Amino acid sequence: MNKYLARLNSTERRFVVGVFVVVFIVINILFIWPRFKDWEKVRVQMKKAQNNLQAYQKEIGQKASYQGLVKELESEGAPVPPEDQVTEFLRTINTTAAQCGVLVIGNSPQPTGTNQFFLERAQSLSVQSGEPQLVDFLYRLGAGTSLIRVRSLTLRPDPPRFQLSASLTLVASFQKKSATGPATRTAEAPEVKPAVAAAKTQTPTKKRP
């Protein structure tokens, strides 16, 4: 570089140095100076992360008091059954109907409602019975630990007018499993299906002559 500049006169040297200075300034304007504000953004993010960490640690420290409050609230009423007991919903209905002498003519599941914490199961029933048997059936469903409740009820006499025909929708709520809990079979299903499909594709087929 020195040899190259030595060949130039003073005017040409000033021009080359000026070009270098302009290029240096342009590079700083385009790539260096806009990054000066990044450090302030990083400091704000670090401060926010520290505040969140302190808030989370404070809530974790109150875990024992929250558990005591949950037990106190659960003692005031029947606890909501977990999601694993959804299969007991229809079984409880049929068992209670048989004990009360209520004839279940037909049943059909309704769309399941869900939110972040609870799973709601609904079942439509068509039953036939006498008035005392139907009242006893509904009372037992509400008085048990299953937390089954009646959402809708329609009554009409049967054609001989000896008994009542009822169409009702029963609803029960269940606790959803925590997202941080152990993996369920549903989560493992996508890993099993490709293996089964691959095994099927690798099975050779014998051609008949």
Mean predicted confidence (pLDDT) in 76-102? 73
pLDDT for 88: 75
Residue with tokens 């049943």: 107
pLDDT for 82: 54
Between these two residues, 136 and 195, which has the higher pLDDT value?
Answer: 136
pLDDT for 161: 76
Mean predicted confidence (pLDDT) in 183-202? 43
On whether the CB atoms of residues 154 and 124 are closer than 8 A, the answer is no
Q: Is the pTM of this model over 0.85?
A: no
Amino acid at 110: Q
**Using CA atoms, how far apart are residues 116 and 172, in angstroms rounded to an integer?**
16
Mean predicted confidence (pLDDT) in 171-180? 67
Q: What is the DSSP string of 61-107?
A: HTHHHHHHHHHHHHHTSPPPPBGGGGGHHHHHHHHHHHHHT-EEEEE
The architecture that CATH gives domain 83-175 is 2-Layer Sandwich (3.30)
* pLDDT confidence bin for 54, thresholds 50/70/90: very high
CA 49 to chain centre: 25
Where exactly are the structural domains of the chain? Answer: 1-77, 83-175
State pLDDT tens for residues 121-133: 888 889 989 889 9
pLDDT for 69: 83
**Using CA atoms, how far apart are residues 141 and 96, in angstroms rounded to an integer?**
7
Task: State the pairing for strand pair 118-129/113-114.
Answer: antiparallel
- Pick from 2-11, 87-96, 106-115: least confident: 2-11
